[in-house]
Chains A and B, each alone.
Chain A
Amino acid sequence: SYELTQSPSVSVSPGQTASIPCSGYNLGDKYVSWYQQKPGQSPVLVIYQDNKRPSGIPERFSASNSGITATLIISVTQALDEADYYCQAWDRSTVVFGGGTKLTVL
Chain B
Amino acid sequence: QEQVVESGGGLVKPGGSLRLSCVASGFTFGDFYMSWIRQAPGKGLEWISYISGGGDKMIYADSVKGRFTISRDNAKNSLFLQMNSLRADDTAVYYCARCFWGCSGDRCWGWFDPWGQGTRATVSS
CB distance from B70 to the nearest CB of A (A): 13
CB distance from B102 to the nearest CB of A (A): 9
Which listed residue, B44, B61, B95, B107, touches A42 by the CB 8 Å rule? B95
Q: Which of B19-27, B75-83, B113-121 contacts A (4 or more CB under 8 A)?
A: B113-121
User: Could you tell me which residues of chain B, from 23 to 63, have a CB within 8 Å of some CB in chain A?
Assistant: 35, 37, 44-47, 50, 59, 61-62
Check B109–A90 contact: CB distance below 8 A: yes
DSSP class of B's interface residues: helix, strand, loop or mixed?
Answer: strand
Q: Point out the residues of chain B lying under 8 angstroms from A86, CB to CB.
A: 44-45
**How many cross-chain pairs have Cβ atoms below 8 Å apart between A and B?**
68
A95 to B44, CA, bound (A): 14
**Which residue of chain B has its CB nearest to the CB of A29?**
B107
Interface size class on chain A is 20 to 34
Q: A42-B116, A44-B115 are in contact. Are A100 and B110 (CB under 8 A)?
A: no
Interface size class on chain B is 20 to 34
Q: Point out the residues of chain A lying under 8 angstroms from B50, CB to CB.
A: 95
A61: CB under 8 A from chain B? no
Q: Point out the residues of chain A lying under 8 angstroms from B112, CB to CB.
A: 33, 35, 43, 45, 88
User: Could you tell me which residues of chain B, from 77 to 125, have a CB within 8 Å of some CB in chain A?
Assistant: 95, 100-101, 107-118
Q: Point out the residues of chain A lying under 8 angstroms from B44, CB to CB.
A: 84, 86, 97-100
Check A1–B107 contact: CB distance below 8 A: no
A7: CB under 8 A from chain B? no
Check B111–A49 contact: CB distance below 8 A: yes
- Beta-carbon contacts of A20-51 to B below 8 Å, as 1s and 0s? 00000000011101010100001111001100
A105: CB under 8 A from chain B? no
Check B115–A97 contact: CB distance below 8 A: no
A31 to B106, CA, bound (A): 11
Residue with the greatest number of chain A CB neighbours at <10 A, chosen from B50, B100, B110:
B110
Listed by A's residue number, 12 A-B pairs whose Cβ atoms lie within 8 Å are A31-B107, A31-B110, A43-B112, A45-B111, A48-B109, A90-B101, A93-B108, A95-B37, A95-B50, A96-B47, A97-B46, A100-B44
